[in-house]
Structure 1
Amino acid sequence: MTIPPSGRDGPRRPSGPRDPGDAWVETASGERFWGRFGAAGLLAVDPERGVLLQHRVGWSHFGGTWGLPGGARHQGEGATDAALREAREEAGVPAGSVRPRFVSVLDLGVWTYTTVAAEVTVPFEPVIADPESLELGWVGVDEVEEYPLHPGFGAAWPSLRESLRIRPTVIIDVANVVGAVPDGWWRDRAGAASRLLHRVGGLADAGVDARALGLQGDTWFARMIAVVEGESRRAEVPQAEGLEVVAASHSGDDEIVAAAGAAAARGEAVTVVTSDRELAARVSAAGATTHGARWLLDLLPDYTAP
């Protein structure tokens, strides 16, 4: 994504206290970018209506073009939080109405722009909430390129659009992963499964490095399915968005194969975590990629023995 340097006056904001982030960053060559701590924008995706775009007011940078609700990050503010805040301030996007799917970062060294793609989980109508918008609207994915786009968003859109087609799903063989850590799990299988599920829940909330999934971008919020069986069905299940715990009524392996096959049939990019060679062969035949237990454990740096 390439974002040309902004004009000399910078984005206009309503009068009131300014955050230290509302300032210019200047490169050695004299280019200037708005947002001392970087900037972020929200690509909200509604399964029925398309993506939410903002028609920029004339006095803004590249006024008259269409782009994403977004702006400068505040001091100490995470990029995802910034994108959601700006979308709320500029487009009235309600809190809790979207769930992040992936994050893509343009890093120029002295300045970053983060695009947070998020799926609408609670439908809403956008509302012009500040002077920076001429209008707001849902635009079909196939129609976006028909609009006069902000150059930065226009350059990024082909890659973003391709990423919107991808639905990563990670299915975890909990018994196998728990058994890969010699921490006394055999004395309390339910407790060991609980510890793993809480750490997997944390990963679901934080997102997975794109490189680990073999995907473009920076971070993906994959759907995670953890399959438990036997005594582990009594495990404590964390409240983590994006994590589904499935209790196998009979064979855990059969449940995993069925889940992998169903997800692959829906076109999802399926990764199954197991070090069981026989199970790995079965899910590979169903269209899944496989990784051993160590792959997942390496993504969970706080996985420690009790």
Structure 2
Amino acid sequence: MTIIPVQPGEPRRPDGPRDPGDAWVVAESGERYWGRFGAAGVLAFDPERGVLLQHRVGWSHFGGTWGIPGGALHEGESARDGALREAQEEAGIPDGALRARFASVLDLRIWSYTTVVADVVSSFEPVISDPESLALEWVPVDQVDQRPLHPGFGAAWPALHALLSVRPAVVVDAANVVGSVPDGWWKDRVGAAERLRERLSTWTARGVVAPGLGVGADLWYPPVSMVVEGAAREIADAVDERVEIVRASGAGDDAIVSETRRLRDGGFSVTAVTSDRGLRARLEELGAQVQSSGWLLERLG
């Protein structure tokens, strides 16, 4: 593997400072891949308008083809953060307009490319905000393969297309999870619930690798419903929009069943977390996959 930095005069982001990640990685066979630390891009999905595609300028790699906004990662930057940053830089996507759902990784060992599929949660019109785009268009899903696609995106599109209908979500029985570890939680139930909330926020933000949350993707960023009861209902709402605090007005088990049913009816595939056998049976009747509290705690690390 050889690293070739951007050369003077090479048309790469002339409007800003050069980042150490802006370099070509060259394989022994001679193929060149953009991004010293790998690269990432966003496939923005709007159920009504389709997916956002970028018509690549002629001087870019595979210029003239259609792909997704993306580019080289910065050193130490996560693929999710880098993909969203690049989407903002290349398509003018506003803050908060997208919510990452899953990521698919092409790992060539010497280099990797991560496609982050993100749902549009606030409608926007893309804006060509750097010189790498000839056009930005919302393309209906069934018309994507009619465009001359970037070879990498074209190879990935069938699998990505199939996953657009997969929507995992997680419902957590907070009392059961907190109560499974004898760490003094009974002295401060609100504090124990807050600690679990923060761990769940970190878990879903960095990407989840877990059975039961969908197939075909390398990482999922599922929304989490954390159901609290009793004194723990005094917990503050999560800052991270991916973790929602659901306060049980009555029995906690009934609130967990109700939240699972709501998500199921909304088209989500639900993984519920509890070690309560009676509750497990009720949740499985709704079609949810049920995992134990230990399963979750192991993944929270």
Same-fold status (TM-score > 0.5): yes
**Residue type of the alignment partner of 1:148:** P
Q: Which runs of 5+ in 2 are unaligned?
A: 1-5
Query: Does the Cα contact within 8 Å between 1:205 and 1:221 map onto a contact in 2?
Result: yes
Q: Using the TM superposition, give the Cα deviation of residue 36 of structure 1 relative to its aligned residue in structure 2, in angstroms.
A: 1.3
Extract structure 1 runs of 4+ deviating beyond 6 A. 8-11
Residue 21 of structure 2 aligns with which residue? 21
- Give 2:11's aligned residue: 12
Which whole-Å CA distance do the structure 2 matches of 1:178 and 1:77 have between them?
32
Distance in 2 of aligned mates of 1:11 and 1:248: 59
The answer to whether the aligner puts 1:70 opposite 2:73 as a matched pair is: no
Q: Residue 158 of structure 2 aligns to which amino acid in structure 1?
A: P
Larger mean CA deviation between 176-185 and 233-242 belongs to 233-242
Contact 1:56 1:134 in 2 (8 A): yes
Aligned: 1:141 with 2:158: no
- Report the residue type matching 1:47 in the other structure: P
**Matches of 1:101 and 1:209, distance apart in 2:** 13
SS in 1 for 2:103: strand
How far the C-alpha of 1:33 sits from its partner, in A, is 1.2
Q: Which residue in the other structure is 1:252 paired with?
A: 252
The residue that corresponds to 1:194 in the other structure is 194
What CA distance in whole angstroms lies between the structure 1 residues aligned with 2:124 and 2:10? 27
Q: How many residues align?
A: 294
8 Å CA contact 1:204, 1:241 repeated in 2: no
Q: Which residue of 2 aligns with 1:79?
A: 79
Correspondence for 1:184: 184
Please state how far the C-alpha of 1:269 moved relative to its aligned partner: 1.0
Aligned to 1:58: 58
The residue aligned with 2:93 is 93
**Secondary structure of 2:300's aligned partner:** coil
Distance 1:26 1:39, change over 3 A: same
What is the identity, as a one-letter code, of the residue corresponding to 1:179? G
> Equivalents in 2 of 1:59, 1:195: separation in Å?
50
Give me the whole-angstrom Cα distance separating, in 2, the residues matched to 1:202 and 1:82.
17
Answer yes or no: is the 8 Å Cα contact 1:173–1:274 preserved in 2: yes
Separation in 2 of the partners of 1:214 and 1:130?
35
2:3 aligns to what?
none
1:278 aligns with 278
Tell me whether 14-23 or 87-96 shows the greater mean CA deviation: 14-23
Q: Which residue of 2 aligns with 1:34?
A: 34
Aligned partners of 2:39, 2:226: CA distance in 1, in Å?
35
**Letter in structure 2 aligned against 1:150:** H
TM-score under structure 1 length normalisation? 0.90
Work out whether residues 210 and 217 of structure 1, in 8 Å CA contact, stay in contact via their aligned partners in 2.
Answer: no
Give the Cα–Cα distance (whole angstroms) in 1 for the partners of residues 299 and 164 of structure 2: 24
Q: How does 1:155-304 map to 2 (within 5 A)?
A: 155-211=155-211, 213-301=213-301
Deviations 1:106-149 (A, max 9, x none): 11000010111111222111111222211111011122112111
1:263: how far off? 1.8
Q: Counterpart amino acid of 2:272?
A: V
Instruction: Check the 8 A contact 1:211/1:218 in 2, yes or no.
Output: no
In structure 2, do the counterparts of structure 1 residues 82 and 201 end up closer, same or farther at CA, with 3 Å as the change threshold? closer
Alpha-carbon separation, structure 1, partners of 2:73 and 2:231: 47
Residue 107 of structure 1 is matched in structure 2 by 107
- What residue is the counterpart of 1:130 in the other structure? 130
Cα deviation digits, residues 68-124 of structure 1 (max 9, x gap): 011122233322222122222221112222111111111100001011111122211
Over 3 Å counting, the alpha-carbon distance change for 1:88 and 1:190 in structure 2 is: closer
Displacement of 1:214 in angstroms is 4.9
With 275-284 and 226-235 compared, the bigger mean Cα shift is at: 226-235
RMSD across aligned positions (CA): 2.0
Aligned-residue offset at 1:292: 0.4
Superposed CA deviations along residues 281-303 of structure 1, whole A, max 9, x for unmatched, are 110010000000011111212xx
On the 8 A contact 1:226/1:245 being kept in 2, the answer is: yes
SS in 1 for 2:110: coil
Deviates more, 1:153-162 or 1:262-271: 262-271
- State the TM-score, normalized to the length of structure 2: 0.91
Q: State the identity as a percent.
A: 59
